[in-house]
Amino acid sequence: MKFNLKKILSYVPILIFGLSLVLILQLGYALANDEVPSIFNRSFLHIKTDSMEDTIITGDIIVINQNYDELSPRDIVSFKTVVQGKEVIITHRIDSKDEANNTYTTKGDNNDSIAEWERNITEEQIVGKYTGNKSSFFGNLYTKLFSERINIVFLIIIGVFIIIAIIEILNIINFFQQKKQIERKTEMIKDAKEKLKKEKDDS
C-alpha cells in the first residue's frame, strides 16, 4: 500500500505540469483569436470608462460568468460590439429585451441616452453576465503593470509557468532515474542472493 501511494504521488508533478500547459494553451488560443480568456467559465475584465459608475468604477476588475442561465432587464452584461469601427467589449446594464427577436438593448448607468450600438444585442455578442464581484485594488495594480506596448502581467504569468514547467520536468527526470537505480539495486541483490545460494549448494 505504501509503495502504491508513493507511486501515485510521484505522478502529481506530471499532473501539475499538464494542467499548467493546458492553461497556457487556452490563454494563448483565446488571445490569438481575440477572445476573452476564461477559467471554469469565469473571466476577468478591466473597466476603462465611467459609463457604469457608481455601480462599477473606472479601473475596476470585474468577474463575469460565461455560463449564465438567462438574462433579464437590470442584469449587467459584457458584450462585443463595434464602436467607431473598432470591436470592443462593453459592460452595461440590460435596459430591455425584445422577446420576439431574442435581442437586448443596454444602457450605462451613468449615461443619459442609449447609443445605436447598444441596440439589438444578440446572444452571440454577449460574453458573460456580471457576477457582482469586483476589485478596485487589483484594478489599480493591473493599470500600473499594464501598458499598450508590453503586458507585464502576461509576461510574469508566462515566466512563472516556464519555471514551473522546468521544475516539473526535472522532477520527472529525477523520478525515472531513481526508479532505474531501485531496479538496478533490486537486480544486484537478486544476483547476490543467487550467488550465495549457489556457493552454499556447492559447499
What are residue 109's phi and psi, to 5 degrees?
A: -60, -30
Tell whether 138 and 57 lie within a shared domain. Answer: yes
Tell whether 117 and 70 lie within a shared domain. Answer: yes
Tell whether 87 and 138 lie within a shared domain. Answer: yes
Tell whether 123 and 96 lie within a shared domain. Answer: yes
Tell whether 134 and 164 lie within a shared domain. Answer: no
Tell whether 17 and 46 lie within a shared domain. Answer: no
Domain final residue, candidates 129, 146, 163: 146
Domain final residue, candidates 97, 114, 146: 146
Tell whether 98 and 165 lie within a shared domain. Answer: no
For residue 82, the Cα-to-chain-centroid distance in whole angstroms is: 26
pTM of the model: 0.59
Tell whether 129 and 54 lie within a shared domain. Answer: yes
Number of independent structural domains in the chain: 2
Tell whether 19 and 64 lie within a shared domain. Answer: no
Tell whether 93 and 76 lie within a shared domain. Answer: yes
Which alpha helices (DSSP H) does the chain contain, by range? 2-10, 12-32, 136-145, 152-202
Number of helices (H) and strands (E), helices first, in the chain?
4, 6
Domain final residue, candidates 146, 170, 188: 146
- Which residue range(s) make up the domain with 83? 36-146
Tell whether 110 and 165 lie within a shared domain. Answer: no
- First-to-final CA distance of the chain: 40
Tell whether 46 and 105 lie within a shared domain. Answer: yes
From first to last of its 203 residues, what are the pLDDT tens digits of the chain? 445 656 666 666 667 767 766 766 665 565 555 567 677 788 888 888 999 998 999 988 888 998 888 899 999 999 999 988 888 899 999 999 999 999 999 999 999 999 999 999 999 999 999 999 988 887 777 677 665 455 555 666 667 667 777 777 787 788 788 888 888 888 888 887 887 777 776 66
